[in-house]
Chains A and B, each alone.
Chain A
């Protein structure tokens, strides 16, 4: 009797729970290492673009630099400002970091390689990315500092604005797929990647992704020249590191989202011999790598936007354009009878 109870416990809860835990670790550990090396890659690429050496002291070619930085940040003192709201002050970086990681639960990194293959995967991703603003706004408010608060206000206005056009871009992709499932979206790009027929939307999405992750040229929430790093100004040591890691994890996430929506996810560019020998996960990582390089390239090239121009671009350019393109996509699909024959 007891044995059968143990058996049901094992097969019903312990074993599947352990399996999920193993899956999560298999995804998160490489992701965190990727985040660490993304910081190094950014410094190296920026250095190369401005004819400098970049970090090259710690380890061969500076490869151990991220770990040195992490060790430094861990051993620093966490300073909480006296006027700060202690609980929210500590919760804010945790929120940023957690949100950057839990979105990966639905990302298919290869054929069938996904932790939760849910029906509304795109909506889940969109929901999680729209929550990212809370980490920043709570940080800005709880720091009890004017610079931090101004940075948080800017950031929340910016993220809410660009989310709208991102929503329309996602809708135009969904019209072509007929499903909200991320694996189905990738499978629908077997013949042609959506970046080609929906090229303007691809550009709008990528620029909106830059704005969503508060990256250059839309890094007004940080704006070190005027706001002395904005919402993170009061943070030190590990809390700062969590913000930093969250930002870079969000960059990788947005690149992954762009890859899935427009660049065919794990699919090879051509389904012919030398290309389809390489496993899908390699293609997926390669595409993310290229997009991340573009993220850094943009940072090295484009100057920061002025705030009113940023808002103008979001509301007066991207929003009408993406709305127009949704109508156009729907019209073309309907006129040529190309609508996906779904369920």
Chain B
């Protein structure tokens, strides 16, 4: 148990510290790298809780895909660090206010959370012990049976968002040369190669 507690405090401390460094570090690339460190330690916390599926998905989706694209974009930006610093103090009050409101909301939600008896009696299936069912199976069983319509709805919303992003960025420019592989492959030999008889000292 001591090891688990130590690991928890290690992960939690690094998560909080790197979360702070995300907003405090001077270089935006360092910020993104600290964000990745925070994700990674959050995944560690999930694994400690026994939610190994969520931990791995967090690493695959956020660290392996989202943060890579994020890093990709931030590295290409041409940012003046001095200007960025000057903006920091200007936005600090608003940011602090939003953070405070979120904190109060969290406290209200977590402090005043009571499950009504009706909901509890009508409630979901009892949660089986971890050694009886892996949490991959458990999550799948809940998402794809009980909440299938909500799941499909979320998928549709994401699809619409994706189509929206494509529509916004798609421009059809005239005069762009595109490769058509079938055309290239189907090109007859006669179109591409001409066999000539070259007379010596004359050329073509």
Give residues in A with beta carbon < 8 Å to B. 13, 88, 118-120, 123-124, 126-127, 130-131, 133-134, 137-138, 141, 149, 153, 156-157, 159-160, 163, 180, 308-309, 342-343
Q: Closest 4 A-B residue pairs measured CB to CB?
A: A130-B64, A123-B56, A127-B59, A119-B134
- Once the chains are docked, how many angstroms separate the CA of A309 from the CA of B60? 26
- At the interface, yes or no: B63 with Cβ under 8 Å from chain A? yes
Chain B positions within 8 Å of A342 at CB level: 137
Chain B positions within 8 Å of A124 at CB level: 56
A134 pairs with B36, CB closer than 8 A: yes
- At the interface, yes or no: B25 with Cβ under 8 Å from chain A? no
B179 pairs with A130, CB closer than 8 A: no
How distant is B102 from chain A, measured CB to nearest CB, in Å? Answer: 29
- At the interface, yes or no: B68 with Cβ under 8 Å from chain A? yes
- Once the chains are docked, how many angstroms separate the CA of A160 from the CA of B70? 12
- Which single residue of chain A is at the shortest CB-CB distance from B57? A123
A163 pairs with B65, CB closer than 8 A: yes
How many interface contacts (CB-CB < 8 Å) are there between A and B? 68
- Once the chains are docked, how many angstroms separate the CA of A317 from the CA of B173? 24
B133 pairs with A343, CB closer than 8 A: yes
- At the interface, yes or no: B136 with Cβ under 8 Å from chain A? yes
Given contact pairs A118-B52, A141-B29, A160-B69, A127 touches B133 in the complex (Cβ within 8 A): no
- Once the chains are docked, how many angstroms separate the CA of A130 from the CA of B40? 13
- Once the chains are docked, how many angstroms separate the CA of A149 from the CA of B53? 34
- Once the chains are docked, how many angstroms separate the CA of A124 from the CA of B56? 6
Chain A positions within 8 Å of B135 at CB level: 119
15 additional A-B pairs beyond A137-B71, A159-B68, beta carbons within 8 Å, are A88-B33, A119-B134, A120-B52, A120-B134, A126-B56, A126-B64, A127-B56, A127-B64, A130-B59, A131-B64, A141-B29, A141-B75, A160-B65, A160-B68, A180-B136
Most chain A C-beta atoms within 10 Å of own C-beta, residue among B33, B52, B57, B64? B64
- Which single residue of chain B is at the shortest CB-CB distance from A141? B75
Categorize the interface residue count of chain B.
Answer: 20 to 34
B133 pairs with A123, CB closer than 8 A: no
A119 pairs with B3, CB closer than 8 A: no
B137 pairs with A343, CB closer than 8 A: yes
- Once the chains are docked, how many angstroms separate the CA of A343 from the CA of B134? 8
How distant is A15 from chain B, measured CB to nearest CB, in Å? Answer: 14
Chain B positions within 8 Å of A141 at CB level: 29, 75
B56 pairs with A120, CB closer than 8 A: yes
- Which single residue of chain A is at the shortest CB-CB distance from B140? A342
In the assembled complex, 8 residue pairs joining A and B whose CB atoms fall closer than 8 Å, in A order, are A123-B57, A126-B56, A127-B60, A133-B64, A137-B72, A141-B29, A141-B75, A156-B72
How distant is A185 from chain B, measured CB to nearest CB, in Å? Answer: 13
- Which single residue of chain A is at the shortest CB-CB distance from B72? A156
- Once the chains are docked, how many angstroms separate the CA of A24 from the CA of B71? 33
A163 pairs with B64, CB closer than 8 A: yes
Q: Which of A88, A123, A156 contacts B68 (CB 8 A)?
A: A156
Interface string of B68-108 (1 = CB under 8 A from A): 11011001100000000000000000000000000000000
How distant is A148 from chain B, measured CB to nearest CB, in Å? Answer: 12
- Once the chains are docked, how many angstroms separate the CA of A133 from the CA of B136? 26
A153 pairs with B72, CB closer than 8 A: yes
Interface string of B117-156 (1 = CB under 8 A from A): 0000000000000001111110000000000000000000
- Once the chains are docked, how many angstroms separate the CA of A176 from the CA of B201? 70
Given contact pairs A130-B64, A180-B136, A119 touches B69 in the complex (Cβ within 8 A): no
How distant is B101 from chain A, measured CB to nearest CB, in Å? Answer: 34
How distant is B169 from chain A, measured CB to nearest CB, in Å? Answer: 15
- Once the chains are docked, how many angstroms separate the CA of A127 from the CA of B72? 19
Most chain A C-beta atoms within 10 Å of own C-beta, residue among B56, B65, B72? B56
- Which single residue of chain A is at the shortest CB-CB distance from B29? A141
B residues 30-70 touching A (CB-CB < 8 Å): 33, 36, 52-53, 56-57, 59-60, 63-65, 68-69
Chain A positions within 8 Å of B76 at CB level: 153
- Once the chains are docked, how many angstroms separate the CA of A130 from the CA of B134? 24
- Which single residue of chain B is at the shortest CB-CB distance from A153? B72
A126 pairs with B60, CB closer than 8 A: yes
Chain B positions within 8 Å of A118 at CB level: 52
- Once the chains are docked, how many angstroms separate the CA of A149 from the CA of B64? 19
- Once the chains are docked, how many angstroms separate the CA of A123 from the CA of B57? 7
- Which single residue of chain B is at the shortest CB-CB distance from A308? B179
- Which single residue of chain B is at the shortest CB-CB distance from A181? B134
A130 pairs with B65, CB closer than 8 A: yes
- Once the chains are docked, how many angstroms separate the CA of A149 from the CA of B76? 10
- Which single residue of chain B is at the shortest CB-CB distance from A122? B56
How distant is A85 from chain B, measured CB to nearest CB, in Å? Answer: 8
Chain A positions within 8 Å of B63 at CB level: 127, 130-131
How distant is A188 from chain B, measured CB to nearest CB, in Å? Answer: 16
A119 pairs with B136, CB closer than 8 A: yes
Chain B positions within 8 Å of A180 at CB level: 134, 136
Q: Which of B3, B57, B68 contacts A137 (CB 8 A)?
A: B68
Chain A positions within 8 Å of B136 at CB level: 119-120, 180
Chain B positions within 8 Å of A159 at CB level: 68
A123 pairs with B29, CB closer than 8 A: no
